[in-house]
Structure 1
Amino acid sequence: MAVNDALKARMVELGLTQVELSERMNDAIHTLTGTRGTVSARTVHNLMCGHTGWPHAKQRMALEIVFGCPATELGFTPRTRAPVTTPQENDAVLRRTFTHAATGLAIGAAAPRPAGPDTRRRIGAGDIQRLHAKFAQIITRDHRQGGRLTIETQALGLAGEALGLLQHGSASQRIQNAVYATAASFTSSAMWAAIDGRRFDAAQRHFDRASSLAGMSGDLTIQFRIWSHAGSLYRHLGRPVDALAANDAARRLAITRRDPLFAALGHARHAAIHGVQGDIGAIQRTLGRAQEAFERAKDDEPRPVWMTAFFDRAELHSLATAAHLSARDYATAEAHAHRSLAALRPELERTRAITTARLCQAQLGQDDIGPAVRTAMTIDQDTLMHPRVMGMLTGFTNALHRRAPTSSQTRLWDAYAREHLRRTL
């Protein structure tokens, strides 16, 4: 049997060991079926070494959820002759194939298809409410932890659960659109978790699926979120032209004319992209538009949970910090960072860590070595392993050694790093 190099490469990309992948797969199977899987490290070893050329249905779906791509892209080849399967497994495969062709998202359902049309239940508002409650939990975890592969995996599994409803039951057009919108929301959360965790290839795949689902839903708010996330993805990839185009797609949606808060977020993220280009004038103009739109927004306007969970005055200043920091306007970046931290809600732990990391970089950019080191040392240790925080502190350490290699503050930071950041620096 040939070694499965494609699977091994994806595992390396995500930093997964055989044991960790088995745990992720068992989590995904639990999401799909309600029962935790029995995948072991030995199972994964067989998948990697080619002993298992085409996993059974639940394992395939779990792999697709974990890696965000079809099993065929993971080095597996379907059997040329029809295998002997149970009715449930065969039906699940057909269901997955149908949904993948229809939406571009490989999913599995949590239960077998009902026997006939008379047994198909009606999907209603209560089903949508239950999905929204799960989505709110994803949002809460994302803002507390962020970037975790487990968040990405769970979000994809819940997108599959949402779409599975349409395969089991009947629904009005309104409810069907709501299901697609919810599935798009879950997939966009997986996309953001991948961006936040620096898994950019996976983020691009999630974007493709999320944008397809959002288009089928007709929901402008989730379309805004997805295109805005795409702008952030391309900004982090150092592709400002693509980032501006994607964010413009978000800013052109009618929701930005109906609700100034969406316009404010669109403008603020546009300013962050201009920061990558070093265009101070464009940053100032776009932030001015963001501020003006933010002041016009009404607090009592009904908005999706993903928007209300994070976008406020603190986030506006955080994006301004990112814009000016990228443009090396360090003094202005520091001022916005202080304003953001002062207004930040306590539950947004990841945002606090990222903004604090930006603050220490801004201080270092002004040669304020002591304040910069003291600021960096205030970052909560529970957030130090976040990939974005890790990357910024790595950059901070390198810049500190370039600016003040023999400083006592540099030695202080190095000692702190050895004690607390062994796994990151």
Structure 2
Amino acid sequence: MVAIRNTVLEAWMTEHGHSSNSLADAVNSAVEELTGRMGGLDGSSIRAWKAGRVTWPKSATRAALEMVTGLPAVALGFVPRSRPSPTPASSHQEEPNMKRRTLIGGIAAATAAAAVPATASPRRIGMSDVNRLNKRFTEIIASDHRHGGQPRIEEHAAVLAEEALSLHSAGSATQRVRNSLYASGAAFRSSAMWAAIDGRRYEAAKAHMREAQALAEMSGDQAIKFRIWSHAGTMYRHMGRPAEALAANDVARNLRLTRRDPLFACLGHARHAATLGVTGDATAVKHALGCARDAFERADPDLPRPAWMAGVRNGAELETLALSAYLRLGDFEQAESHAHRSLTLLPLHVQRDRAINTARLAQAQLGQGAPDAATATAMSVPADAATQHARVTRMLRDFGTTLRTSAPGSSAVKAWSEHTASWRVTT
């Protein structure tokens, strides 16, 4: 097979003033930062990349290159292997150590990657391939609803993102199909990002976010851009960085999609309200939730939307985010009201959100001075969610601390201690 020169990598090196030797040195240093051992590249290694003799560097080297450039390997002209690695966990373990890099300067190079000639089989890639990926994406969403935050979901979504990108080199395709493949890759990366956020693996989440943002720019898909920036807002909110959360929310809320479809505007305002709850601004929270409610009432329920918008369509997500906002404000009566409404609207199969909102309901009841009712509610959270989901585990640990402080020596404390002891026995 004739090697095809990687002109995208060459262009990036020229733009950033790198020779083959200087890039090799930079990547070697990044490998050492990631693995503890200095990399073994030299100028000839980089020349092999530029010449197209190496089309997909090894995982540690690839992660280091992405760390140096701030771009995913595919945006530098590299072509993924036609089959994803059977051990995705190894590259995932490297991601948490990656440093945050801006993508603004890399979009042009990322777009140019689409022009790299295909080297695999000449078959025609069409919308049937995209539809197959979209079905897999729906399965990822369903798995997230059931389990949420698990590393296996994150890893599976990341592998599917690579699969979507590998189709670019598998044959010829129209620009519409190529854009759709980028959108699929971005969607899978956003799900990997969300699973990492949900599992409180924030460094990994930021690495997925960088790749998702680059792919979303190449796709031009407004819905997936909204999802990524909205997830970024949630991530920074969970990290206790409200200023960055509000900024990310603003990017999502200002996309033209929110003017075309009020349901996206509803979600944007509601997530903004949840972050404003962290700041303690009750007036701003009420205003944002009012805007969310108005947008929800204006939305056409019959418009086609992505599968991940289902909870927004029936109002469950609005109630969930209002619950989060009022709980943060310490308005426990309002929080309890929204908790009950969210649990009524959530489908039974959305087990992760039901567990989270049940734990929040217990916190709201305890905040109103009802330790027995609160403990009974907390004890209704399924043991697997209580012990295996990072966010739920932390919520219930905080609940137990507050319970012991506010009602020391009570029957509720005794019941809770016995209940949590049973988790340690069964897990």
TM range (shorter): 0.7 to 0.9
Q: Which moved more, 1:292-301 or 1:142-151?
A: 292-301
CA-based RMSD? 2.9
- Provide closer, same or farther for how the CA distance between residues 261 and 108 of structure 1 changes in structure 2, counting only shifts above 3 A: same
Q: 2:34 aligns with which of 73, 79, 87?
A: 73
1:206 lines up with 2:208 in the alignment: yes
What pairs up with 1:183-202 in 2 under 5 angstroms? Answer: 183-202=185-204
CA contact (8 A) 1:228 1:246 kept: yes
Shift, 1:421, TM fit: 4.9
Shift, 1:170, TM fit: 2.0
Q: TM-score, normalised by structure 2?
A: 0.76
Q: 1:248 aligns with which of 247, 250, 263?
A: 250
Q: 2:401 aligns with which of 398, 402, 406?
A: 398
- Provide closer, same or farther for how the CA distance between residues 319 and 134 of structure 1 changes in structure 2, counting only shifts above 3 A: same
Shift, 1:342, TM fit: 1.4
1:109 lines up with 2:73 in the alignment: no
Shift, 1:249, TM fit: 0.2
- Provide closer, same or farther for how the CA distance between residues 117 and 361 of structure 1 changes in structure 2, counting only shifts above 3 A: closer
Q: Identity of counterpart residues, as a percentage?
A: 48
Shift, 1:107, TM fit: 7.8
What pairs up with 1:40-119 in 2 under 5 angstroms? Answer: 73-75=34-36, 77-80=38-41, 90-93=54-57, 100-103=72-75, 108-111=80-83, 119=121
Shift, 1:298, TM fit: 1.2
Shift, 1:75, TM fit: 3.8
CA contact (8 A) 1:104 1:209 kept: no
1:413 lines up with 2:412 in the alignment: no
Shift, 1:73, TM fit: 2.6
- Provide closer, same or farther for how the CA distance between residues 224 and 402 of structure 1 changes in structure 2, counting only shifts above 3 A: same
Correspondence for 1:264: 266
CA contact (8 A) 1:104 1:212 kept: no
**Structure 1 CA distance for aligned equivalents of residues 208 and 119 of structure 2:** 32
Shift, 1:237, TM fit: 0.7
Q: What CA deviation, in whole Å up to 9, does each residue of 1:328-355 have, x standing for no partner?
A: 1111001110111112111100000000
Q: What CA deviation, in whole Å up to 9, does each residue of 1:213-264 have, x standing for no partner?
A: 1011100000000000000001001111110110010000011011111000
Shift, 1:172, TM fit: 1.2
**Structure 1 CA distance for aligned equivalents of residues 406 and 151 of structure 2:** 35
Q: Which amino acid aligns with 2:410?
A: S
**Structure 2 CA distance for aligned equivalents of residues 142 and 282 of structure 1:** 31
Unpaired segments ≥5 residues, structure 1: 1-68, 84-88
Q: Which moved more, 1:304-313 or 1:211-220?
A: 304-313
Q: Which moved more, 1:168-177 or 1:319-328?
A: 168-177
Q: TM-score, normalised by structure 1?
A: 0.77
Q: Which runs of 4+ in 1 moved over 6 A?
A: 69-72, 94-99, 104-107
CA contact (8 A) 2:55 2:79 kept: no
Q: Which amino acid aligns with 2:202?
A: F
Q: Which moved more, 1:378-387 or 1:271-280?
A: 378-387
Q: What CA deviation, in whole Å up to 9, does each residue of 1:343-385 have, x standing for no partner?
A: 2111100000000000000111111111000000111223212
**Structure 2 CA distance for aligned equivalents of residues 222 and 71 of structure 1:** 34
CA contact (8 A) 1:318 1:336 kept: yes
Q: Which moved more, 1:351-360 or 1:207-216?
A: 207-216
1:379 lines up with 2:381 in the alignment: yes
Corresponding pairs, count? 351
